[in-house]
């Protein structure tokens, strides 16, 4: 099956707060954008696989975010929930062009 990808502008790089998350609303989905201490930007689905916690408000440590509701630890780069808990969240590719930051979203997400 062919999948098309949509490039969504999410903000200017310098305006993303460091070591914090930012919520991006995309129709009925939310994406959490994180600017890590390293300066890299990551994007994941803004929904904890446990009970739907908003991950954008979690505490960011290195490549991980701690869910604000029950402290699950989730890798922001590959989306995997860390042991002892299990599960994963969807990750999205981030593209930086000069100052502008975009997220690449597969079309199924935007259509649903």
Partner 1 sequence: MEKKKLVLIGNGMAGIRTIEEILKLLPEQFDITVFGKEPYPNYNRIQLSKVLQGDTEISDITLNEWEWYEENNVRLYPGETVTKIDKDNQIVFTDKGKETSYDYLIIATGSNPFMLPLPGADKEGVTAFRDIEDCEKMIHASKNYKRAAVIGGGLLGLEAARGLLNLGMEVDVIHLSDFLMERQLDQPAGKLLQKELESQGMNFLLEKQTAEILGKKRVTGLRFNDGGKIPADLVVMAVGIKPNIQLAQETGLEINRGIVVNDHMETSIPNIYAVGECAEHNGMVYGLVAPLYEQGQALAKHICGMNHQGYKGSVLSTQLKVSGVNVFSTGLINETDQTKSIKVFDEWRNTYKKILVQDDKLAGAVLFGDTKEGTKLLSLIKKGAKVEDYLESSQAQDDDESIVVSMSDDEVICGCNGVTKGTIVNAIKTQGLSSVEEVKGCTNASRSCGTCKSLVSDLLTHTLGDEYEANEKESICACTDLSRDEVIAEIKEKHLTHSREVMNVLGWKTEEGCSKCRPALNYYLGMVYPKEHEDERESRFVNERLHANIQKDGTYSVVPRMYGGVTNADDLRTIADVADKYKVGMIKLTGGQRIDLLGVKKEDLPLVWKDLGMPSGYAYGKTLRTVKTCVGAEFCRFGTQDSTGMGIKLEKKFEGLNTPHKVKMGVSACPRNCAEGGIKDVGVIGLDGVWEVYVGGNGGTDLRKADLFAKVKTEEEVLEYTAAFLQYYRENARYLERTSHFVERVGLEPIQEMVFNDEMRQELCQRMDEALSVYREPWNEVIESETTLRDLYEKVNAK
Query: Quick check: 48 binds ligand FES (CB under 6 A)?
Result: yes
For residue 42, what are its two tokens? 């990551």
How far is Cα 92 from Cα 76, in angstroms, rounded to an integer? 10
Of 86 and 97, nearer to ligand FES (C-beta) is: 86
Query: Quick check: 24 binds partner 1 (CB under 8 A)?
Result: yes
Q: Which of 26, 80, 88, 94 binds partner 1 (CB under 8 A)?
A: 26
How far is Cα 69 from Cα 105, in angstroms, rounded to an integer? 26
Contacts to ligand FES by CB under 6 A = 48, 50-53, 67, 69-70, 72
């Amino acid at each position: 099956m062919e999948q098309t990808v949509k490039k969504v502008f999410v903000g200017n790089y310098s305006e993303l707060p460091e070591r914090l998350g930012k919520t991006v609303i995309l129709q009925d989905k939310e994406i959490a954008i994180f600017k890590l201490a390293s300066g890299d930007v990551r994007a994941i689905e803004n929904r904890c696989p446990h009970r739907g916690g908003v991950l954008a408000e979690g505490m960011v440590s290195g490549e991980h975010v701690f869910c604000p509701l029950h402290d699950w630890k989730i890798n922001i780069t590959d989306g995997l929930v860390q042991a002892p808990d299990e599960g994963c969240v969807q990750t999205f590719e981030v593209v930086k062009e000069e100052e502008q930051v975009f997220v690449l979203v597969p079309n199924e997400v935007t259509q649903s």
